[in-house]
Amino acid sequence: MLNQEYNLNYIINRIPERPIIGIVLGSGLGEFINQLSGKVQIPYHVLKGFPISTISGHTGEWVFGYIHNIPIICASGRFHIYEGFCFEEVVMPIDIINNLGCKKIIITNSAGCLNTNWNIGDFMLIQGFIDYSYMKNSNNCSIIKLNSPIGKIEKVKTKFNNIGYNIRSGIYTWTLGPSYETPAEIKDIISLGGHAVGMSTVPELIRALEFNLDVIGLSCLTNYGAGIINKNLSHDDVLKISMSRAEQFSEILSQLIQLLN
């Protein structure tokens, strides 16, 4: 049996029903799973040929559960090209989510903020993305728009902005990493129209768009991009900020799930 078929059957045999929404949890944002009831946890390492997260802040497990009685499945832990995984491995969680029958997906991450009018700890709904990886010859750093349910998203934004959360909307830019960008790259990305920058998510968005899923992307803005302020960037600081925003992140996510349903 092919690994993918084995893994899909393995998960299906352990969960009480098919999830409706799939969620990819980014660095330091895994605490969301504490909101779920009726949890079923499946570590990635029990699956065949499935990658294992190698960096701190990523647990490495599937978590099925219910929120507002809606069955969902979370990939708690994702994969990056800079860890040595190929594109097909990086998007395996999206393949599973799609093959489980989810038509809707929420992809989250921690990202650098490129707009000085925004604050660290703000959240950004991803309206579109720029592939700044230079992995594909065809890519000319143009902005690709997402097919998100915009009307619903605007409702969530307004609701949270009314209670003092800053939810922004903008363009997420993918860089390969693993080092943070140079100030010159950040200037270039801003000139291309990027509002946030990070080392993940775009491969997953590309695959989700290929599957024609309804996609919502949500970034937690953990730092200003390199050179914007006079401060060195570190993964530990990124994790510290994303974890300090865990409660707000969970609230927003839970509302988005309710609206998507």
**Contact set with ligand HPA (CB under 6 A):** 110-112, 175, 180-181, 197-199, 222-223, 225, 233, 238
Q: Specify the residue, 41 or 59, whose C-beta has the smaller distance to ligand HPA.
A: 59
Using Cβ positions, the residue closest to ligand HPA within the complex turns out to be 112
Sign of the Cα torsion 124, 242, 60, 114 reads positive
Residue 89 beta carbon to ligand HPA: minimum distance, rounded to whole angstroms: 19
Residue 92 beta carbon to ligand HPA: minimum distance, rounded to whole angstroms: 21
Q: Specify the residue, 159 or 240, whose C-beta has the smaller distance to ligand HPA.
A: 240
Residue type for 179, please? S
Q: Specify the residue, 76 or 223, whose C-beta has the smaller distance to ligand HPA.
A: 223
Q: Specify the residue, 21 or 202, whose C-beta has the smaller distance to ligand HPA.
A: 202
As given in the structure block, the two tokens for residue 102 are 């989810």
Q: Specify the residue, 152 or 240, whose C-beta has the smaller distance to ligand HPA.
A: 240
* Whether 131 contacts 159, CB under 8 Å: no
Q: Specify the residue, 142 or 179, whose C-beta has the smaller distance to ligand HPA.
A: 179
Residue 225 beta carbon to ligand HPA: minimum distance, rounded to whole angstroms: 5
Residue type for 215, please? V
Q: Specify the residue, 95 or 188, whose C-beta has the smaller distance to ligand HPA.
A: 188
Closest CA to 112 of 154, 170, 163, 164: 170
Q: What are the distances in angstroms from CA 128 to CA 28, 120, 124, 191?
A: 23, 20, 11, 15
Residue 215 beta carbon to ligand HPA: minimum distance, rounded to whole angstroms: 20
Residue 155 beta carbon to ligand HPA: minimum distance, rounded to whole angstroms: 27
* Whether 76 contacts 93, CB under 8 Å: no
Residue 129 beta carbon to ligand HPA: minimum distance, rounded to whole angstroms: 13
User: Count of H helices and E strands in the chain?
Assistant: 8, 10
Residue 114 beta carbon to ligand HPA: minimum distance, rounded to whole angstroms: 9
Interstrand relation of 123-131 and 37-43 (parallel, antiparallel or unpaired)? unpaired
Query: Which residue has 């720029």 as its token pair?
Result: 130
Q: What are the distances in angstroms from CA 202 to CA 82, 83, 126?
A: 14, 15, 11
Longest dimension (CA), the chain: 54
